[in-house]
A and B are shown apart, each in its own frame.
Chain A
Amino acid sequence: MHGIKRTRLTQEDIQAKKQREQTKITEYLALTEQVLSRKKHKDWSEDALGLTSKLLQVNPEFYTVWNYRRNILLQGLFPRGTPEQNNQLLVVELTMTMGALKSHPKVYWIWNHRRWCLENIPNGPGEAQEDGADGWKKSAWDKDLFVVEQMLDVDSRNFHAWNYRRYILSNMPKPRPEKTELTYTKQKILSNFSNFSAWHQRSKVLSSLWASGKLGESKSKENEFKLIRDAMYTDPHDQSVWMYHRWLVGNDISQEVLEREIETIQELLAEQPDSKWCLESLVHYKRMQLKNHKEKVDTQVLTGECQRFLAHLGELDPMRSRRYEKIASQLNTI
Chain B
Amino acid sequence: MALDIPLHVQYIQNLGQSHDELAYHLTAHLRLNAVYWGLAALCTMGHKEALDREEMIQFVMSCWDEEAGGFGAHPDHDAHLLSTLSAIQILIMQDALDKLDIPRVVSFIVSLQQPSGVFAGDTFGEIDTRFLACGSMALSLLGHLDKMNKEKAVEYIQRCKNFDGGFGSCVGAESHSAQVFVCVAALAILDRLDVVDTDTLSWWLSERQQPSGGLNGRPQKLEDVCYSFWVLSALSILNKLDYIDSDKLTAFILSAQDPEGGGIADRPGNMVDVFHTHFGVAGLSLLGYPNLQDLDPVYCMPADLITRMGLRKGWKALPRRTTTI
Contacts and interface: CB of A to CB of B under 8 A. Distances in A.
Interface of A: 1-6, 8, 18, 21-22, 24-25, 28-29, 32, 36, 40, 58-59, 61-64, 67, 70, 108, 112, 115-116, 157, 159, 162-163, 166, 194, 196-197, 200-201, 203-204, 238-240, 243, 246-247, 318-320, 322-323
Contact of A67 (B21, B124, B176): B124
Interface in B64-102: 72, 76-78, 80
A194 to B, nearest CB: 5
Interface stretch (B4-12, B40-48, B264-272, B287-295): B264-272
A70 B170 CA distance: 23
A5 B270 contact: yes
B220 A204 contact: no
Contacts of A243: 163-164, 204, 219
Given A108-B126, A318-B245, A320-B243, A247 B220 contact: no
Contacts of A203: 163
23 contacts: A1-B273, A1-B275, A6-B265, A21-B22, A25-B20, A32-B28, A58-B26, A70-B124, A115-B126, A159-B168, A159-B174, A163-B173, A194-B219, A196-B218, A239-B219, A240-B219, A247-B163, A318-B245, A319-B244, A319-B245, A323-B202, A323-B203, A323-B240
B265 to A, nearest CB: 7
Contacts of A70: 124
A37 B207 CA distance: 50
A194 B22 contact: no
B80 to A, nearest CB: 7
Range, interface on chain B: 35 or more
Given A32-B25, A32-B28, A116-B124, 6 more contacts: A63-B29, A64-B29, A157-B218, A196-B218, A247-B163, A323-B206
Given A64-B77, A239-B207, A243-B164, A21 B20 contact: yes
Given A4-B270, A5-B270, A196-B220, A64 B265 contact: no
Contacts of A64: 29, 72, 76-78
Contacts of A61: 26-27, 29-30
B276 to A, nearest CB: 7
Contact of B172 (A3, A204, A239): A204
Nearest to A18: B20
A134 B298 CA distance: 47
A22 to B, nearest CB: 7
Nearest to A196: B219
B14 to A, nearest CB: 13
Q: Helix, strand, loop or mixed for chain B's interface?
A: loop
Nearest to B122: A67
Most buried by B among A4, A6, A194: A6
Nearest to B247: A319
A166 B160 CA distance: 14
B53 interface: no
Interface of B: 20-22, 25-30, 72, 76-78, 80, 122, 124, 126, 162-164, 168-170, 172-176, 202-204, 206-207, 209, 213, 218-221, 224, 240, 242-245, 248, 258, 260, 265-267, 269-273, 275-276
A59 B30 CA distance: 12
Contact of A1 (B124, B126, B244, B276): B276
Contacts of B270: 1-6
A320 B21 contact: no
Nearest to A7: B271
A108 B170 CA distance: 13
A239 B216 CA distance: 13
Contacts of A5: 269-271
A2 B224 contact: yes
Nearest to A169: B172
A158 to B, nearest CB: 11
